[in-house]
Structure 1
């Protein structure tokens, strides 16, 4: 029997096959969880709180994703409410021997989960930022090419006074640049989370840390994230900032999508997608499928 992915994206053509899909998949989350665990042990080793050999052993075990089954972890996560608990058990078993006690040492599940999700966000944003750069460049070329292409301006959906398509494309580009600026700001501020059992970092002191702030900074350096001023697992500002920037980006892309959908209507016919989508019953149609997918994504984003 053929194995069927529980979410292959069959009903999500806007997501299926996209770089963001793979960057936020279960496999990507598992990779980030393992990276967060290994990074913590390496940070401790960098400060003399764990043997370098232990950091190497944990990193080697975490690198071999074949040892870990995302579906099995998900099912076992039901008993404790999160996948870190079964993951730690499996990673500890994979390390085994004298170095096994250094897995997850001093951390709590929320430290690893939040740090991993920030890693997922960082890796996804890196791809999105590249996409936005290409988009603004394409829109810049479009605005320049059509700076003198006259079209009706509209207010409240009705003809107003003339404008140019170049100006409209320049407006689209301005929104994309604003979105890129906001995502760059958020990307540069994504933090690790490290607080221990109650957010006090006390457990790390038990294991020899004399300056918990140094450990947080070392952990951030290992993961390529930012060291926060305080543990933030109950202070969700980073998540809100990320959500706000992504929502703005979806809205910024929804504007040109909405314009294309309107101006490519048969009775208007001022725009068309370069290669429209087909119809199963009407071969003469060239549907604005790309604009439809972007608009649909933007409507879902606020939720």
Structure 2
């Protein structure tokens, strides 16, 4: 078996994440771990605990890729322990002596995962910004494109495609705001969350300043130690699910309303995309399918994070903490993949106004029954759009603010 074949997960069974998850790869997380150790040493210097200049020398020292880091992590139950051995082996003795001094493995790994999430979030938010811009464009363009609204799968009253896009836009804006406003904290508590080692190295006042200094070095939020208070992880997981769910709404609607017998909307085409291995006439809505796959997988992962939070006992969880790592990483992968694909989907999405009008007319005057029951006259489809323009304008204003 070749070296390439021994790489366990390249997204072969998760095409929604393939090519979009580099920011949460093993290599990216290892880099974050090193960055956290450098930031911690900078905080030690800034507090006056460690001599000045050590962190710069550490940052400038080439650290080769860690061979077998995952396998060696089995011995101590986490990757920080073997990584420290690698760092100390390649650093000058006076620098190595201060690496990780006063910290614990959970401080470094939790902070590295939040740093990784911070970096991945920036990519997700960039993709969501593109999706928001394109949904706003579609809502404005199609504010007069009438269609049959569907409730419980059946024709209900007339609506417009512009209002439909505005509704999707609002859902994505909510998810974007939740994710963007989320505080991602650094972790620093020492062996049992009391900062006792840092107190031993300095004094109580200096040790108390260290969490803020450390967080500032990483560009993360400051927080009291959260070794067993896992709200930062569950909140992040919930925000990521909100993203995949919002994008899943779009994908589900596109795949349904793009069915051959409905045909009101179509995904952007690309050479080789959407083909069938057995039926050459088919053009499958692959982008929507992949986004839906992420939306279906994500909620169960978030529930795992909540289960782990409930099992975070004593001052250091035994297994619950460890179960969070791959779960949170997978949620980040799904949000990265779904948001990347969603931006492409809505950018090239097309609406068939004639087909929408045809479908609207299938119900004849029955689709106007609500107005007739209220006023005694059916009116026209245009009479049913009501405040749709105002609702669209409100969504556009929010998107552009």
Map of 1:107-146 to 2, 5 A cutoff?
107-146=103-142
Q: For residues 60 and 117 of structure 1, what CA distance do their matches in structure 2 show?
A: 23
Superposed CA RMSD in Å reads: 1.3
Superimposed CA distance per residue, residues 111-132 of structure 1 (whole angstroms, 9 cap, x where no aligned partner): 0000000001100001101111
Instruction: Quote the residue 1:66 is aligned against.
Output: 64
The 8 Å contact of residues 277 and 288 in structure 1, kept in 2 or not, is answered as: yes
Contact kept? 1:111, 1:194, Cα under 8 Å: yes
Matched, 1:266 2:257: no
**Structure possessing the higher radius of gyration over alpha carbons:** 2
How do 1:109-258 residues align onto structure 2 when only pairs under 5 Å count? 109-186=105-182, 189-209=183-203, 210-228=205-223, 230-258=224-252
Q: Deviations over 1:205-245 (max 9, x none)?
A: 111143323111111111000111x2011100100110111
Distance 1:24 1:82 in 2: 17
Greater relative CO (CA pairs within 8 A, separation 6+) = 2
CA contact 1:31–1:65 (8 Å) conserved in 2: no
Distance of aligned partners of 1:65 and 1:166 in 2 relative to their CA distance in 1, 3 Å threshold: farther
Match in the other structure for 1:76: 72
In the alignment, the residues of structure 2 paired with residue 67 and residue 176 of structure 1 have an alpha-carbon distance, to the nearest angstrom, of 39
Q: Is the 8 A contact 1:28 1:120 kept in 2?
A: yes
After TM superposition, give the deviation of residue 65 of structure 1 in Å: 4.6
- What runs of 5+ residues in structure 1 fail to find an aligned partner? none
Residue number in structure 2 paired with 1:7: 9
CA distance in 2, matches of 1:135, 1:161: 28
Moved over 6 A (4+): none
- TM superposition shift of 1:67: 4.2
Structure 2 CA distance for aligned equivalents of residues 57 and 110 of structure 1: 24
**Which residue number corresponds to residue 397 of structure 2?**
none
TM-score normalized by the length of structure 1: 0.94
The 3-state SS of whatever aligns with 1:216 is: helix
